[in-house]
Amino acid sequence: MTATSPTKPEARAFAALKVNPCVAALPPYNAGMSLTRARALSGRDDLARLASNENADGCSPAVLAALADGGFEPWRYADPACTALREALADRIGVAAEVIVVGNGSEEMIAAISRAVLVAGTQVVTVVPSFGLHEIEPLAAGASVLKVPMTAAAGFDLTALEAAIAAGPRVVFLSSPWNPVGPALDRPALQRLIDAVPPGTLFVLDEAYFEFSDAPDGIAMLRDSGIAHVVLRTFSKAYGLAGLRVGYAVCSDPELARVIAAAKTPFNVNGAAQRAAIAALADEAWMKASVAGIRAERDRVAAGLAALGLHAAPSQTNFLFFDTGRDSAEVAAALLLEGIIVKPWREKGYESWLRATIGTPAENDRLMVALRKLVAR
Ligand SMILES: *Cc1c(COP(=O)(O)O)cnc(C)c1O
């Protein structure tokens, strides 16, 4: 990108334009380093991509077959309501299809919820370290965001969260299992937070890593809670469809689902993605086997890190979050030279923490060998 000189006509034209100040002031979403940039910086092709919590095993072969079998027609608009996928999900989860909204990734549902429920001056509660969009989308809608820090033991601060929720924000965004930290709310903890939700507050539980966890099923717990809520799930992580973009919102009632659906773009989920998600859902055995392998590797890597004196937060996900004891951007830069892409955390107070996705066993070995070299220095 070239910098625009203020004397250029297009810069003067932009200066005269009124843009949405909330959007113009947004912090950038930290999407992690692109493969092209990582190749250029490291001079390597053998990169282990452990920055974005993708599935190390890829996806079910049934998905690839469904995309190749000729049933997908690129020239047709896909069903804007994702009817077949919503029916398959409703069947699997045990809810009515009319409370499900499917998004272009669950990220789009975070945006749609913010657009549907928030207006300028409203309050949102989330946590820090945070999943960037739980802050960015509310800020874009003109809301202000209170972020409750994690405890010294890298857990949810339940007392502080309870108080922040009881104060009656318009929306609460929590991921459990928690990206980027790793732990999940157990049943009593989730119940405590549910009990703190006053009328007028929407409780959004983002369960992007649910399949990797031993956490209670948020959909089942919230269904009987009587509070206004949305549970978010995704095909990006356990099902390995990050590049196709399919996630969904399970809402507390059909009216809420209607308003959230009204806030999305009409043809948000493309035909290939709808087809792939239905095939992925039908091959539950592939997902379960993949998750079992990744969970075993997660334990092995956590033990390996601990042996190096690097203690990771307890994880119910496909990643580990640990304190490097120094600027994690420097650690990430050194790892990149070894061909490993990880995510150094940048939020204030957490700049020494690093998030590493659980990769294939060979990738995980490379991570541990490289960290041993760095720590031994
Ligand atoms: C990865 C992730 C998502 C998923 O995003 P998609 O748009 O479905 O790919 C949502 N929430 C959290 C907390 C995540 O970590």
Each residue's pLDDT tens digit, 315-358: 999 999 999 999 999 999 999 999 999 999 999 999 999 999 99
Report, at the CATH architecture level, how domain 61-282 is classified: 3-Layer(aba) Sandwich (3.40)
What per-residue confidence (pLDDT) applies to 3? 54
Is the predicted pLDDT of residue 6 greater than 90, yes or no? no
Would you say the CB of residue 211 lies under 6 angstroms from ligand 1? Answer: no
Would you say the CB of residue 242 lies under 6 angstroms from ligand 1? Answer: yes
Provide the residue ranges of all domains of the chain, joining segments of one domain with +: 26-58+285-376, 61-282
Q: Average pLDDT in the 177-183 region? A: 98
Residues 355 and 312: their CA atoms lie apart, in Å, by 9
Residues 86 and 78: their CA atoms lie apart, in Å, by 14
Scanning 141-247, the segments in alpha helix (DSSP H) are: 158-166, 187-196, 218-223
Q: Average pLDDT in the 98-117 region? A: 98
Would you say the CB of residue 206 lies under 6 angstroms from ligand 1? Answer: yes
Distance 282 CA to ligand 1 centre (A): 21
- The residue whose C-alpha atom lies closest to atom 2 belonging to ligand 1 is 208
Q: Which residue has the tokens 């946590």?
A: 127
Residues 135 and 139: their CA atoms lie apart, in Å, by 6
Residue 235 alpha carbon, nearest atom of ligand 1: 8
Distance 77 CA to ligand 1 centre (A): 25
Q: What is the pLDDT of residues 13-49, one digit of tens each?
A: 888 999 999 999 998 887 778 889 999 999 999 999 9
Report, at the CATH architecture level, how domain 26-58+285-376 is classified: Alpha-Beta Complex (3.90)
Contacts of residue 70, Cβ cutoff 8 Å, sequence gap at least 6: none
Q: What is the pLDDT of residues 245-304, one digit of tens each?
A: 999 999 999 999 999 999 999 999 999 999 999 999 999 999 999 999 999 999 999 999
Specify the pairing of strand 353-357 against strand 319-323. Answer: antiparallel
Would you say the CB of residue 53 lies under 6 angstroms from ligand 1? Answer: yes
What per-residue confidence (pLDDT) applies to 161? 98
Q: Which long-range contacts (CB under 8 A, 24 or more apart) does 263-268 make?
A: 263/111, 263/112, 263/113, 263/115, 263/116, 264/101, 264/103, 264/104, 264/108, 264/109, 264/111, 264/112, 265/104, 266/80, 267/77, 267/78, 267/80, 268/80, 268/102, 268/103, 268/104, 268/108
Q: Determine how many CB atoms are found less than 10 A away from the CB of residue 61.
A: 11
Residues 171 and 87: their CA atoms lie apart, in Å, by 28
One-letter amino acid identity for 100? I
Residue 104 alpha carbon, nearest atom of ligand 1: 7
Would you say the CB of residue 328 lies under 6 angstroms from ligand 1? Answer: no
Distance 18 CA to ligand 1 centre (A): 32
Residues 97 and 231: their CA atoms lie apart, in Å, by 14
Distance 31 CA to ligand 1 centre (A): 11
Residues 67 and 247: their CA atoms lie apart, in Å, by 18
Query: Under a CB-based contact definition with an 8 Å cutoff, are residues 66 and 375 in contact?
Result: no
Would you say the CB of residue 179 lies under 6 angstroms from ligand 1? Answer: yes
What per-residue confidence (pLDDT) applies to 70? 80
Query: Under a CB-based contact definition with an 8 Å cutoff, are residues 274 and 244 in contact?
Result: no
How much is the mean pLDDT over the chain? 95
